Structure formats: structure tokens, C-alpha cells
């Protein structure tokens, strides 16, 4: 499973935002042949996991928002000083994302993330296959 984000292509932007695997930090209980002790300690590692509301919120907060801000700052550097940028991000309505509980928190993060960039998250309308660009391109 992965989290993917695409945008509308323009002359200066090819439309790719990012694609990230769904993973969590795993702390092993014992050493194995593949995961031996290092200096007497067990080393944590990234392991794939299922998407739930907490993992989704963490991925939006640590991966997607910084990438949107990076792309937005690059765009604003080519604009007049003091320009504002509004970004609308559409999230799919997958039940595992827990959007009923996390959408308000994600929108608050998007609003407070940058002084000149406002990021608004919205749900994808149900039963609208024409809007899911990730399914069309994969």
C-alpha cells in the first residue's frame, strides 16, 4: 500500500507531488539472523503496515504537507513579494483513513503550516470515478 499525491500539471510543474510506502517503525522483540543485535542493542526498522486513521494523519503531517509546502515555496519565489498561494487537496473517501475524525485536524495543520500558503483538504465525492486520477494512471 502507498500514499500517492499528484497535482495539475502546468508549464513549470509536471504534476508529480510524491509517492510514499505505508510504513511504521517496528521495534523487534528479539534478534534474528536478518536483524542481529548492533552493539548489544536491537535496531528498529521500518515495516509495512495497514492504513488507519493515525497512520494516515501522521503521513499527511510528516510527508505530504512538507512536500506541498516545498513545492509552494518554489512557486512563490517566482511570484511578486507577498503573494499568497491556496492549495486544494482532495482525499479519497477510504474508510481506513478515518476522515470523520481527522479531516478537521488535517485542515488545521494545512492552515497553520505556512504563512503564505493555505492548504485546504476536501473529501472526494462518493462514487465519482472520473475524479480519481491515481486509478487512471497506475
Residue 93: predicted pLDDT: 77
Residue 130: predicted pLDDT: 57
What does each of the 138 residues of the chain score in pLDDT, given as a tens digit? 888 888 888 888 888 899 999 998 888 899 988 888 888 889 888 899 988 888 889 999 999 999 999 999 999 999 999 899 999 988 887 777 788 888 899 999 999 989 999 999 988 877 766 555 656 554
Q: What is the pTM of this model?
A: 0.81
Listed by start position, the domains of the chain span 2-137
Q: Where are the alpha helices (DSSP H) in the chain?
A: 53-59, 65-76, 99-112, 133-137
Residue 124: predicted pLDDT: 80
Residue 53: predicted pLDDT: 86
Amino acid at each position: 500500500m502507498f500514499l500517492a499525491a499528484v497535482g495539475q500539471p502546468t508549464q513549470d510543474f509536471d504534476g508529480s507531488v510524491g509517492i510514499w510506502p505505508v510504513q511504521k517503525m517496528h521495534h523487534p522483540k528479539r534478534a534474528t539472523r536478518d536483524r542481529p543485535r548492533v552493539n548489544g542493542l536491537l535496531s528498529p526498522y521500518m515495516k509495512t503496515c495497514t492504513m488507519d486513521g493515525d497512520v494516515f494523519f501522521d503521513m499527511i503531517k510528516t510527508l505530504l504537507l512538507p512536500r506541498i509546502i516545498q513545492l509552494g515555496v518554489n512557486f512563490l519565489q517566482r511570484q511578486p513579494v507577498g503573494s499568497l498561494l491556496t492549495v486544494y487537496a482532495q482525499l479519497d473517501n477510504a474508510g481506513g483513513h478515518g476522515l470523520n475524525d481527522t479531516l478537521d485536524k488535517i485542515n488545521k495543520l494545512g492552515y497553520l503550516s505556512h504563512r503564505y500558503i493555505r492548504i485546504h483538504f476536501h473529501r472526494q465525492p462518493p462514487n465519482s470515478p472520473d475524479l480519481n486520477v491515481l486509478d487512471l494512471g497506475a
